[in-house]
Structure 1
């Protein structure tokens, strides 16, 4: 059967104490492990309901019910729960901030798009400018070459044109001749070209590329005139940079 009493003493460090029972001169031992709720520390004067049991030849309290704690819990359960206070006035402000944030985001995207278009247009203008400069440089180079040709004379061009016409005639002629005659005609042609070059050019003491007026003249000087300095790599091709060979 259950008996009621009050906590008379409690030693926190050791976890036990004694209960005073009304009408009893001797206090009853209890331990914290027998409490239903050990997270709340026992308090002096707290009302308890319990059974008296014997353990190891000594009496102690068991199946302890904390009457004061139970009443406090019941009181808390009877109190209606209040809903958390919400400031409805903050909602419009939040919505206003949210709308402003969206507006700023849209404006930022528009600015980025405009900047991208501007940069792209500038890049296109830059490319067109570079292309125009390249075309101008090419035209200037063509004009420089034409001016050099006019200054040096057009004799090599006439020679080459006449030589090309003769090559066309010889090729037409050689296609209708047998192999032996073709070889002879080719040799005769080379001899004629060399003879023509030798008649046009003569060794006059010039030894450098800057003194040559045409590639054919440089070839003639390299092959026929001593002391020339027009073939630095000794490949048989004179003045390669000057005449772009």
Structure 2
């Protein structure tokens, strides 16, 4: 049960005092820690409402309500001018949408769209350039092989295949040379191939396909050794069945 009383004394340095209760001869102890609002110092004569509890065998005030402080706060709020927060929450420039902000947004979106189109067109141009370059290289390689055939005549397919797989940069450089230089270079390569085959194979009297160990050896014997019997259809390709040609 709550009872009422008034502060009779208070020692600021020690944070406690006593409450005088009407009809009671003995004052009641209280401590500042039991006050709901410790920021406002208790004053002598201030009205309080509280409960009496026992603490370590002694009675004291607890759950203190400061009646005078509560009344003063209510009076202060009652005398304050009422404000219409609905009309003063924000500045008028934020209550209305600024037309400049809308224009800036539209301009920004247009700039982004233009940049996106430019980037896409740039990417498409790059892809077309890459495809064109690849097509040109393929055509240059085909022209190079055809020029080799024209310059070297009836050259075995293996030699053309080997030469056709040269480094792509060498092929591009070779196609940019004058025709006389290209023919000379092709003949030099053919002579080099024939010289390599001559150093590897040697005429030793063999004349039949069954005696050949490789297609290259059969080609060498057909072209360089007399009396060979390895090209029945006279097409310049020896031992076609044996070597799957």
Please classify the TM superposition score into its range, dividing by the shorter chain length. Answer: 0.3 to 0.5
TM-score when normalising by structure 2: 0.44
**Bigger CA radius of gyration:** 1
TM-score when normalising by structure 1: 0.44
